[in-house]
Amino acid sequence: MAEQNENKGAGAINNGAAVSGKPVAAAGGQAAGGGRAAAGGQPQEVWTIGRILKWTEGYFKKAGLDSPRLDAEVLLSYVLKKERIFLYVHFDQPMEAAELAAFKDCIKRRVQHQPVAYITGHKEFMGLEFKVTPATLIPRPDTEILVEAVLQRLKAGAEAENSLIADIGTGSGAICLSLLNYLPRLQAVTVDISPEALAVAEENAAGLELSERVEFLQGDMLEPLKAQGERFSGRLSAIVSNPPYIPRGDIAGLEPDVRAFEPMGALDGGEDGLDFYRRLLADGAGLLQADGFLAMEVGIHQAQQLKALAEAMPQWGRCEIIRDLAGIERVVVLWKK
Ligand code: SAM
Ligand code: GLN
């Protein structure tokens, strides 16, 4: 069904190109969203920005996408290389043929559930622009809760901003680069197992002019830090991580956008989803300063399990749990004892 719609849609848009001067409905039929038939000799209609947005919204809705209007606007502003507000001020502007062709390609990809951020190649996070590729998880708004929590705690710390933190499983670098951006004297070391993700994170660091304050290490969780012995042992003010945490059995039930397009190595947290937390809890305290903390994003129902794991370990003291905007326990902060 989606395939059918898509073909119709593609035809409709092609034939509606402003430059062709043909009415939209000539080949697209009703799917074109109100274009009048040429045969009857009615007035011709062109694809203006306003009209194409309306049509795309309806098409995305039919394809079962969650935020059809927003997706249409983000993709169209990407194609036109303009801010979203531009669309509203130029509702009546006709689309060029090349713009229509590029937008049609975006529509095709989106109805196959490719995430908008992989189509545009970037995502906003903490007010900053991050490049993303299919090798990196798309940074989530939930993760901003983790960043805010860490910012607050680092600012409140005696060392102010003059400290070193580690971001484990950095992906696009969203977490640690945001922290560095908002704390101008902070330094960071980041780890990811994926060289492709690290390459994107390095590009993001360069784009945000933060490269001088961040080091990128490829490897397995805390291993690259432990391997450097004295250099990191007992030195870190904080360890921050949004590790893969989806229980393996839940992966098949994820949204198609996530399941089919985001990197599995960024999602799969093992049998119960807690594999990576066990490792962070086992090795983290040794790398932290006396007043250091380990801050982690967690999945639904995992915060209390993590708290219980930490309570059974002598090296962890106070445990703070922070909820997200939906009221779900989303961040766990463990202080070294
Ligand atoms: N920090 C980013 C964010 O919040 O948007 C990405 C988080 S993503 C959920 C988890 C990241 O951990 C992925 O980039 C993945 O490549 C990385 N990862 C998976 N297994 C790892 C391991 N054993 N050691 C280090 N990083 C790992
Ligand atoms: N928040 C992501 C999702 O549910 C999962 C990220 C993770 O495993 N850390 O799509």
pLDDT in tens, 201-254: 999 999 999 999 999 999 999 999 999 999 999 999 999 999 999 999 999 999
Crossing angle of helices 97-111/49-62, nearest 10°?
20
Which among 193, 202, 261, 276 is the best mutation to test ligand 1's pocket, defined by most ligand atoms within 8 Å of the CB?
193
Q: What's the 310 CA to ligand 2 centre distance in angstroms?
A: 22
Give CA–CA dist 1/193, Å, rounded.
Answer: 39
Angle at 279 between CA 274 and CA 282, to 5 degrees: 120
CB atoms < 10 A from the CB of 153, how many?
Answer: 16
Ligand 2 mean position, distance from CA 85 (Å): 30
336 compared with 291, residue with greater pLDDT: 336
pLDDT cut 90: percent of the chain above it: 83
- Look at 141-145, 159-163, 249-253, 294-298 and tell me which has the smallest mean pLDDT: 159-163
Angstrom CA distances, 323 to 13, 17, 42, 240, stand at 44, 48, 57, 17
Query: What atom in ligand 1 is closest to the CA of residue 245?
Result: 9
Number of DSSP helices (H) and strands (E) in the chain, helices first: 14, 9
Q: Given a cut of 50, is residue 28 above it in pLDDT?
A: no
Q: Is the pLDDT of residue 29 over 70?
A: no
192 lines ligand 1 (CB under 6 A): yes
Q: Which atom from ligand 1 is nearest to the alpha carbon of 139?
A: 5
- The model's pLDDT over 146-157, given as tens digits with 9 standing for 90+, comes to 999 999 999 877
If you measure from the C-alpha of residue 117 to the centroid of ligand 2, how many angstroms do you get, rounded to a whole number?
Answer: 15
Nearest to 257 by CA among 4, 2, 65: 65
Q: What mean pLDDT, rounded, does the chain reach?
A: 89
Query: Does the CB atom of residue 165 touch ligand 2 within 6 A?
Result: no
166 C-alpha vs ligand 1 centroid, how far in Å? Answer: 13
The whole-model pTM stands at 0.88
With a 6 Å cutoff on the Cβ, whether 140 touches ligand 2 is yes
Q: What is the pLDDT of residues 80-112, one digit of tens each?
A: 999 999 999 999 999 999 999 999 999 999 999
Residue 175 Cβ < 6 Å to ligand 1: yes
Quote the DSSP letter at residue 46: -
% of the chain exceeding 70 in pLDDT = 85
User: Relative to the CA of 169, which ligand 2 atom is closest?
Assistant: 9
Give residue 266 CA to ligand 2 midpoint distance, Å.
8
Q: Which atom of ligand 2 is nearest to the CA of 255?
A: 10
